């Protein structure tokens, strides 16, 4: 199984699938098994797909908490991974927390980012509409649905409750802070950017995502009217999502 050792000795597990232009797929806050990239593995089989478990997730080194600056820290992890694989540049597709991390990678090292796809993202640290979900995650992971728990167990094994608790606690901490998740630096992103969002996303309103997209120069925005938080994996939107990404990459990469 492929592992990469970060400078602080953290072990990152990643899947390395296919050949062709590299595409880094970055999972959301509950891990990749919560909203897996199965459809993308087939739809982008002409790419080299890199799908890591971030630190604290899946088969990577466990953590007992997430710091409030974990998004830019994880961006450094992913840039180190690209370095270790001798990949000069890649397409980044981030979902939710993964989208924040992908944006930070484009802020920190834009020359490494061939194109940026931000799906189900977030702008503000304060997420009042999600406080109940964060509280449940922090204090009662077993309150999740049976299907969600099954997926979490598949992805994280016996550590799944810690993963959920870490996620809930860090977002509760972020929700007590002002400002945006990018420290006002979104206008520094000057790489081709596609922002994808579901109109029924319970965590981020269309108005919030429109404001995020407006801060990234020349970003394209598409809202799926019937999708929720995960257009890439939802049955009603995943094929359209893949088609839109392919068209974007053909034009912009």
What is the per-residue pLDDT across 62-84, written as a single tens digit (0 to 9) for each?
A: 999 999 999 999 999 999 999 99
Quick one: pLDDT at residue 34?
85
Give the pLDDT mean for 102-113.
98
Residue 168 placed within a domain: no
Residue 139 placed within a domain: no
Q: 239-250: b or e for each residue (b if 16 or more CB lie within 10 Å)? A: eebbebbeebbe
| Interstrand relation of 193-198 and 48-52 (parallel, antiparallel or unpaired) | unpaired
What residues does 15 pair with on adjacent strands?
51
pLDDT in tens, 185-217: 999 999 999 999 999 999 999 999 999 999 999
Residue 132 placed within a domain: no
Residue 250 has pLDDT above 80, yes or no: yes
Integer Cα distance of 126 and 117 in angstroms: 23
How confident is residue 32, by pLDDT bands cut at 50, 70 and 90?
very high
The per-residue pLDDT of the chain, averaged, comes to 96
pLDDT in tens, 140-173: 999 999 999 999 999 999 999 999 999 999 999 9
pLDDT in tens, 165-191: 999 999 999 999 999 999 999 999 999
The sign of the CA dihedral 125, 83, 152, 222 is: positive
**What's the total number of domains in the chain?**
1
Residue 130 placed within a domain: no
Residue 234 placed within a domain: yes
Q: In sequence order, which ranges of the chain are alpha helices (DSSP H)?
A: 38-43, 70-84, 97-108, 131-139, 146-156, 160-174, 206-215, 238-252
Domain that holds residue 246: 3-124+181-252
Residue 152 placed within a domain: no
Residue 252 has pLDDT above 70, yes or no: no
What does pTM read for this prediction?
A: 0.97
- Going from the C-alpha of 222 to that of each of 34, 59, 83, 90, the distances in angstroms are 23, 33, 32, 22
Give the pLDDT mean for 20-28.
98
Integer Cα distance of 197 and 223 in angstroms: 5
Instruction: Say which DSSP state 111 is in.
Output: G
Torsion of CA 204, 206, 207, 211, to 10 degrees: 80
Residue 229 placed within a domain: yes
Residue 237 placed within a domain: yes
CATH code of the domain containing 105: 3.40.50.1820
């Amino acid at each position: 199984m492929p592992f990469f050792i970060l400078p602080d000795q953290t072990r990152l597990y990643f899947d390395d699938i296919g050949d062709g232009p590299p595409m880094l797929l970055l999972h959301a806050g509950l891990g990749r098994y919560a909203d897996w990239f199965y459809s993308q593995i087939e739809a982008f089989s002409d790419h080299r797909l890199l799908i890591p478990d971030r630190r604290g997730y899946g088969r990577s080194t466990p953590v007992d908490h997430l710091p409030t600056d974990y998004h830019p820290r994880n961006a450094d992890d992913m840039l180190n991974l690209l370095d270790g694989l001798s990949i000069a540049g890649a397409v980044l597709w981030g979902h939710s927390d993964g989208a924040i991390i992908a944006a930070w990678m484009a802020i920190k090292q834009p020359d490494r980012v061939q194109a940026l796809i931000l799906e189900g993202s977030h702008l503000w640290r304060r997420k009042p509409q999600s406080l109940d979900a964060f509280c449940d995650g922090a204090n009662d992971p077993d309150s999740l649905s049976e299907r969600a728990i099954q997926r979490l167990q598949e992805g994280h094994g016996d550590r799944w409750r810690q993963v959920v608790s870490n996620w809930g606690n860090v977002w509760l901490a972020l929700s007590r802070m002002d400002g945006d998740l990018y420290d006002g630096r979104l206008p520094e992103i000057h790489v081709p950017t596609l922002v994808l969002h579901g109109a029924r996303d319970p965590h981020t309103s269309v108005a919030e995502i429109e404001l995020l997209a407006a801060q990234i120069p020349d970003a394209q925005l598409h809202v799926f009217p019937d999708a929720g938080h995960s257009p890439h994996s939802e049955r009603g939107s995943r094929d359209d999502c893949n088609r839109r990404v392919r068209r974007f990459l053909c034009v912009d990469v």
